[in-house]
Amino acid sequence: MKDILTPRERFGLLVIDEKPDRCNVLPLVTSHAATVKGMRLRDYYTDGEKMARAQIAALETYGHDAVSIFSEVGIIAEAMGTEFEYPENDLPIQRKPVLEKCAIDDVECPDPINDGRLPVYMEAIEYAYDALGDRVPILAYVPAPFTTGMMLSNPNKFLIQTIREPEAVGRILDKSLRAAIDLCYHIIDKGGLPLIVDPLASSSVVSPATFRRYALPYERRLVQFLHRYDLDVILHICGDTAPILELLPETRADLISIDQVSLAKTQEVLSGKMRLIGNYDTSKLAFSAAEEIAREVREMVRLGMTTKKGYIAATGCEVPVHAPIPNVMAFVNAAKESGWYWV
Amino acid sequence: MFEDIAPAKIGLEEWSRQFACVSDDLIRRYTYYGNNEWGIYLSPPATFMVYGARELKKLKYDNSLAALRLWGFTFNESERLFRARQNGMRVIATMGDLGTVPVIVMAFPSCIPFYPDCTWWTPFFNESTVLLDKASELGVPEASCFVRSSLAAFYKRAYFPKPEALFASTGASCDDYSALMQMVQDLGHDLTWLEIPYRRQRHEEDDPEEFCGTEQGYQYAARFDNYLANEYRRVWDKMRALTGNGDTAELKRSIRKANRLRRLVAKIKKTAGQASVAPFPALEMMVVEFGNLYGYGDIDEWTDIVEMVHNTVSERAAKGTGVLGPDAVPIAWITPTADPLLLNVAENLGARIVETEYVINQAHVEIDENIDPFLALARSFMNASLIGSTSERVRRIRDSVNQGRIKGVIISNMLGCSHCAMETRLIEEKLKDLPVLSIDVPAPMGITEQLRTRISAFMETLR
Amino acid sequence: MQLIGYTCSYIPVELLALTGFRPYRLLHGDVDSSKRGEKFVRVDACPMVKSNLDHIFRNQNDFAALVGSTGCDMSRRMLDVAAENTRIPVLVFNNPRTDNRTIFHDEIDWLTQRLERLSRRQFNPASIQNEVTKWESMRVELRTIDERRAANPSQVSTASFHEVMTAYCQGAFDRDVSICRERADRPRVYLLGSAITYESNAILRLIEDHLRIVGDFNCGLSRALDIRIQEPTLAGIEETYYGQPPCVFKRPDRRFIDHVRDETRRLNCTGVVAWTLDYCDAYEFELRKIERTIDLPVLRIRSDFSLQGSSQLRTRIEAFVEMLCSKT
C-alpha cells in the first residue's frame, strides 16, 4: 500500500495517541548510512555534511521514517576531553578517558559549537533539517549522563566508584547532565529531536540497583528538561533491559526503545504506560536471509501493533555498519506492509 | 523575569535562552481544556520547529510572556483538536464564513469549532510543499489560492481529526473556496452548505425602508438578515440533532463570549495603533486578529491570552516603549499574507502596520446581545469584507488615510485568488493619493531578495 | 437601440428585453482586448472578464445598464470594476449557489422593480407574455438547429451553431439564423467548460476540423436553450430560470455532474472536450470529478484566447481523435 502520510505526519500522530496510516518504521540506521552511501566511516563521523548526506541516502534507499544523527556514544565525553582515535574504516575508539588526566571539577562542560565533534553533529542536524525537516523527523542521539560518565572514566573504575564513591560519581553525572542539556539546547534550536541513548545503563552492563541509583535519576532529569519544551522523549537502552522494565516508566520517557528483551514481556509491563520501539535482533540483519528477516519482522510488527500506547517497528540496536542492504530493505518493507492501521 | 524585560523582537534561539529562565510552575500554569498532562502549551518557538515548522527559525517574535502563550497556544491547535476528540468532545469544521458559525457551535456543550481554511499557513510555517503537492494530486489546480492545502489536510487526517460535521459557506465568496469545499464533501464528509448573500449597496432610488445598515455604515436590503438568520437556524438545528442539546440561552452566552473577545481585540488594535511606538509586532497582531474567528478552539483560554496581550500592549503604550523604532513608518496592510515572514520582512525594512484589512471584518464587529441571536449573528456577518464592493472594503483604510494615520499601503495578493485579481487595481485607484505597493505572496520559501528590494524601495519612498 | 449588458445564464433575458433595451450578453474574449482589460484588473483575472471590461469601457455609451449576478466571483466583481470606471448603472442580483428558491425569487422580484425604474416602464402581464413568446419562439428555432447538431450523424457544426447563438446572446433577432447542412461522421464529442466568447469561433472550427461537437454545457452556446418557459408570467420566468440545469457554481454539484453525464450518454458522445480559460478555477476544480463520473476520455484545452499554440493544439486534437478511434 502507498503511504498516505509523511514520516513527520506519522510520528506527529503517534505522539498524540492517534493511529497513523501505518506504524512508524525506524531501523536504527546510524553509521550504517555510510555503507549505503559508500563512504568511509571516518568521513561519516568527522564531517557533518557527509553524515547528513549519508543519512539522506539511506532514507532514500530504505524509505524508513526518521533520520538518525549519530555515530557513537562517546561524543559528549570526547568534547569534554576524553581522547579517541579515529580509524579510517571503523568507529572512534576510546584511548584515554579525561578523568585519567584530571579531576571532574577541572573538566569543562563542552561548547557544542566548538568542542570535539559536537560541531559535526550540529552541522549534520542543520543540513538534514534543511533538506528534509518538513517531511522527516530529525532524531539526534544524545548519550545519557550515565553513559557519558562512564566514557569520561575508565569504565571499570567508574563501576567500582558507584559502590565506593557515590559522591564522586554524582559529581561526574551532574556534569554529564549539564553537558547533555547544553547539547540538547543546541540540537533543539537546529530542529533536531533529542533521542536519549543510555547503552551503558543496560542490565547487560550494570545491575538494576545501579541503574536505579545512578542512571535512572539522570535520565529522568534529562527527560524533564526536554518535557519543559513539550518534546516527546525517546529513550533507548541497548542490551538486556528485562530486569529493569518495571523501572522504565520512572524515567518519564514517552517512548522506550528496547533491545534484547521479549517484546511480549515488555508489553505486559509497559503496554499501557509507554510507547514501545523495537526490537528486531540486529545480528540477524547482518547474517540472516532477507526472506527470514521479512517473516520475523512481520510477526514482530503484528505483535508490536497491539501495544496500547503505540508502537514503532525498529531494530533493537543500531543496524550493523556492514549489514547487507537487501536485508535492511527487507526489514523496512516487511514492517511497512504489515504495519497498516488505516483500512 | 518577564516583568523587567525590555520589549523587543527576538529570534528563535534567543527565545530558547529566555525560556530556560521560565519556571516549571509558570509552564504548568497555562493549559487548554484544563488538562495538566497534555494540555500544557507554554513552549518556545523551537519546540514547534523541532516538529517541522521550519520557517520559525527565520521569524522574529515578541519577547513577552503574552507572546509566548500566544504562539504556544496557536501552534498547539492540531494536537488540541485531536485531544478534544479523544476526550469525547465533538470537533466541528466551519469553512468559508470566517467568524460567525463558530459562535453557534460554541453554544453546544463540548463542541469545538475550527477552520480547516487556516491550514493555508501550514505550507509557509513548515516551508513545505507537502500539502500543496497533495492538493495537486487530488485535482486542485496549482494556480488557485493556498487554501487548497486544507483539502490535502482533510485527506491526510494528520492535521485535524475528521470533523463530526462541516458547515461550508458559499455564495458571495471566493470561487476557489467554494470549489474546494465541494471537493472536501466529495471525500465523504458530512457537509452542510450555507448561503452567503451579496451585500448589494443601496441605490438612491431604493426604498430606504427596505434597507438597514450596520454600525460600520454598510447598507443592504433588510431581508438579507433574514436569509442569513435562517441559514444560522439550520446550523443550530443540525447541531441540535448532532448533540441532542440546544439551549438558546447558551447561544446568547456564546455571543457574549465572542463579544468580549472582539472588544478586547478592538482595544488592542486601537491602543497599538495610537501608541507612539509600536507596542506589539505585526505578526503577533495578525494572530490576535484571526483568533476572533473561533478562539483557536478554546475561546476561554484564548481570551485569557488576549487579555494578557492587552495588558502588555497597554503597559508598553503607556510607557512609550515598543518593539519597533520610533521612526517606523505607519502603513496599512490589505489582505492577509499566507506567508507570515512577509510581515517580519516589512517591519525589518521600516514599516509599522497600524491598520489592517485581513478580509475578516465580520469577526471584528460586536454582535447585538439584545435581539434574536440568529438575527444578531446575521447582522454582524453583513459587515463581512468580501461580500460587498471593493469601495466598501477599503473605506476604513480610506478613513485612516484621511486622518493622516498612515503613509502607505501594502496589498498582498495570492495568485489565482479571484478577489485579489479583481480588487487590487481598484484598491490602488481608491487610494491613489498615497503610495501603494502590491505584492504577490510567493509560494513557500519563495521570498526573494528581489521582493525584499521592492518592499525596501517602497519604504524609502514613504520616508 | 441601447444595450442592456448581462453576464449570467440565470438572468432572464425576457425581463431585460422588457426595458426596451437590447439584451446583450457580455461574452467578449480575444487576446488584444483581454490585454487591454489589464488596465482595470490584475493579469491573473479571467481573460473573458478582462475582455468584457475593455469592451464595456470602450463602448460605454452603448450600454443603458449592466446586470450581473453572484454566479461567479470574478464576474460579480467585474461589475464592481465597471461601476467604478464608467457611469453605466449596474445591477447585481443574488443568484444563490445553494438550493435556495426564496432568495432567487425575491431577487428576481427586486431585479424586475429595478428594471422597471430604469426603463420607466411598467412590466404588465401582457408585456411579459409578449416578451416570453418572442424569446421562446427564438429558442424553439434554435433548438431545431441544436437537434440537427445532435443528430447522428450530426448535421450542423457547433461553430455554425455558435454563430446563431451569438445572435441570440446579442439579442439580434433580425439576424439570419438559418444554417446549411454540414454533415460529419467525425467522432462525437461533448463540449464543457468556460463560456464560449463571440470571438472564439476559430477555436471551435479548429476542434471541429477533427471532431464534431454535438452538445455542450457552455455559456454562449446551448445553455440558453434549456430555458423552456411554460407559463408566460413573471412566476413562470422565475420558476424556469431557477430550475434550469444547474451551472458549475451550484452547491452541491451533484445535479450538474449528473446532467453532464446524462447528456453525454443521450448524445452518444465518445469523448469530451473541456475548454477552460486561464484562472477559471471552478471548472478546473471540477474536471477530475467529471472525468471520473462520465468515464469518457477528456481533452483539456486551457486558453487565454490566443491561437499562438494552435499547431500544438491541432496535434493534441489529432492524438485525441486517434485515441477515440482506437477505443471504438
| pLDDT mean across residues, chain B | 95
Q: Buried b / exposed e across A81-98, counting CB within 10 Å, b at 16+?
A: bbbbeeeeeebbebeebb
CB-based contact, B443 to chain A, within 8 Å = no
Chain B residues lying within 8 Å of A229, measured CB to CB: 19, 43-44, 46-47, 50
Give the whole-angstrom CA distance, residue B398 versus residue C176. 52
Chain C residues lying within 8 Å of B203, measured CB to CB: 114
Cβ contacts of C210 within 8 Å, gap of 6 or more: C186, C187, C314, C317, C318, C320, C321
pLDDT at res. B278: 98
Provide the 3-class DSSP secondary structure of residue A317: strand
How many angstroms separate the CA of residue A138 from the nearest CA in chain B?
Answer: 8
Query: Parallel, antiparallel, or unpaired: how do β-strands A275-280 and A311-318 relate?
Result: parallel
Q: How many CA atoms lie within 13 A of C160 on its CB side?
A: 20
Helix, strand and coil content of chain B, in percent to the nearest 5, comes to 50, 15, 35
User: CB-CB: which of C40, C96, C98 is closest to B425?
Assistant: C40
Q: Are B306 and B265 in contact (CB under 8 A)?
A: yes
Which residues 42-81 of chain A have a CB within 8 Å of chain B?
none
From the CA atom positions of chain A, what is the Rg in Å? 19
pLDDT at res. C58: 97
Give the whole-angstrom CA distance, residue C25 versus residue A27. 66
Question: How large is the angle between the packed helices B149-156 and B130-137, nearest 10 degrees?
Answer: 90
Among residues B383, B405, B228, the alpha carbon closest in space to that of B332 is found at B405
Give the whole-angstrom CA distance, residue B46 versus residue A190. 8
List Cα–Cα distances, B143 to A171, B418, C253, in angstroms: 61, 11, 21
Q: Across-strand partners of C215?
A: C190
Q: Which residue has the cell 453525464?
A: C261
Cβ contacts of A179 within 8 Å, gap of 6 or more: A76, A79, A80, A109, A110, A148
Chain C residues lying within 8 Å of B194, measured CB to CB: 98
Ranges of chain B whose pLDDT falls below 70: none
Overall average pLDDT of the C134-156 stretch: 96
pLDDT at res. B174: 86
Touching partners of C (3+ C-beta pairs < 8 Å): B
B74-133 per-position pLDDT tens digit: 999 999 999 999 999 999 999 999 999 999 999 999 999 999 999 999 999 999 999 999
User: CB-CB: which of A9, A16, A130 is closest to B79?
Assistant: A16
Provide the 3-class DSSP secondary structure of residue C3: strand
Tens place of pLDDT per residue across chain A (343 aa): 899 999 999 999 999 999 999 999 999 999 999 999 999 999 999 999 999 999 999 999 999 999 999 999 999 999 999 999 999 999 999 999 999 999 999 999 999 999 999 999 999 999 999 999 999 999 999 999 999 999 999 999 999 999 999 999 999 999 999 999 999 999 999 999 999 999 999 999 999 999 999 999 999 999 999 999 999 999 999 999 999 999 999 999 999 999 999 999 999 999 899 999 999 999 999 999 999 999 999 999 999 999 999 999 999 999 999 999 999 999 999 999 999 999 7
Is the per-residue pLDDT at C12 higher than 80? yes
Chain B residues lying within 8 Å of A134, measured CB to CB: 52, 54, 126-128, 130
The count of other CB atoms within 10 Å of the CB of residue B457 is 11
Provide the 3-class DSSP secondary structure of residue C209: coil
Q: Is A in contact with C (3 or more beta carbon pairs below 8 Å)? A: no
Residue A84 — left, alpha, or beta (φ > 0 → left; ψ -120 to 50 → alpha)?
beta
Q: Model confidence at C328, in pLDDT bands (50, 70, 90)? A: low
Give the whole-angstrom CA distance, residue B272 versus residue B281. 9
CB-based contact, A19 to chain B, within 8 Å = no
Is the per-residue pLDDT at C200 higher than 90? yes
Which residues 193-252 of chain B have a CB within 8 Å of chain A?
none
- Sheet strands side by side (includes A234-236): A24-28, A311-318, A275-280, A255-257, A234-236, A193-197, A138-143, A67-69
Q: Name the residue type at position A290.
A: A
Question: Which run of H or of E encompasses B286?
Answer: helix B282-291
Q: Which residue has the cell 450581473?
A: C68
Residue of B nearest to C49 (CA): B422
Please state which architecture CATH assigns to domain A7-338: Alpha-Beta Barrel (3.20)
- Output the DSSP codes for A138-178: EEEEEE-HHHHHHHHS-HHHHHHHHHH-HHHHHHHHHHHHH
Give the whole-angstrom CA distance, residue C285 versus residue B182. 9
Chain B residues lying within 8 Å of A17, measured CB to CB: 82, 86
Q: Are A259 and A278 in contact (CB under 8 A)?
A: yes
Is the per-residue pLDDT at C307 higher than 80? no
Q: Name the residue type at position A211.
A: F
CB-based contact, A18 to chain B, within 8 Å = yes
Q: Which residue has the cell 536505579?
A: A212
From the CA atom positions of chain B, what is the Rg in Å? 21
Please provide the distance, in angstroms rounded to a whole number, between the alpha carbons at the two ends of chain A.
10
Domains of chain C: 3-121 (3.40.50.11890), 126-327 (3.40.50.11900)
Contact assignment for C74 to B418 by CB distance below 8 Å: yes
Chain C residues lying within 8 Å of B176, measured CB to CB: 281, 285
Provide the 3-class DSSP secondary structure of residue A194: strand
Give the whole-angstrom CA distance, residue C53 versus residue C76. 12
B153-185 per-position pLDDT tens digit: 999 999 999 999 999 999 998 888 899 999 999
User: CB-CB: which of B82, B126, B155 is closest to A16?
Assistant: B82
| pLDDT mean across residues, chain C | 94
Query: Parallel, antiparallel, or unpaired: how do β-strands B111-114 and B90-95 relate?
Result: parallel
List Cα–Cα distances, B206 to B98, B211, B219, in angstroms: 30, 8, 11
